[in-house]
Amino acid sequence: MTPPVDVLVVEDDVELRQVLSEVLTDAGYRVASLSNGRDALRSLKRRKVPPRLILLDLMMPVMDGWKFLEEKSRLREFDGIPVVVLSAFPARNVSAQAILRKPIDLNRLTATVEKFCRKPARRSPSAKDA
């Protein structure tokens, strides 16, 4: 069984994924991180409780963010999960609740996550692998 998470980070850049996970874990969120959209879809399908938010890179190998969003939209049980896109380029025509431009401003990141997840009541350990 996979542990519950607040934020699912889907980012292929190992260092950025680690920084995002650490910052959000330090802020008290339960975080799981993955390197591509295919693994993220698999993770969503096997979770009993879906994440409260998905942070999604658009440019990734295996399955990019656009394809992930397309596949996620076909799975009605995941309609309520907000997605925040992470992109180095202007993200047009993307179905997301917010867009954070790279390089990521960490204060803006935490404010955006808090907007969708609300501040956690207590610190929780990270669920590094989804």
Q: Give a yes or no: residue 113 inside a domain.
A: yes
Q: Each residue of 93-115: pLDDT tens digit?
A: 788 999 999 999 999 999 999 99
Q: Give a yes or no: residue 130 inside a domain.
A: no
What is the pTM assigned to this prediction? 0.88
Q: Give a yes or no: residue 125 inside a domain.
A: no
Q: What is the CATH number of the domain that holds 91?
A: 3.40.50.2300
Q: Determine the pLDDT at residue 112.
A: 96
Q: Each residue of 25-71: pLDDT tens digit?
A: 999 999 999 999 999 999 999 988 899 999 999 999 999 999 999 99
* Angle at 108 (CA atoms; ends 61, 9), nearest 5 degrees: 30
Q: Give a yes or no: residue 84 inside a domain.
A: yes
Quickly state the pLDDT bin for 120 (edges 50, 70, 90).
low
Which range marks the domain in which residue 75 is found?
Answer: 7-117
Q: How many domains does the chain have?
A: 1
Structure tokens at 80: 């309520």
Q: Give a yes or no: residue 126 inside a domain.
A: no
Q: Determine the pLDDT at residue 4.
A: 81
Supply the Cα-derived Rg of the chain in whole angstroms.
Answer: 13
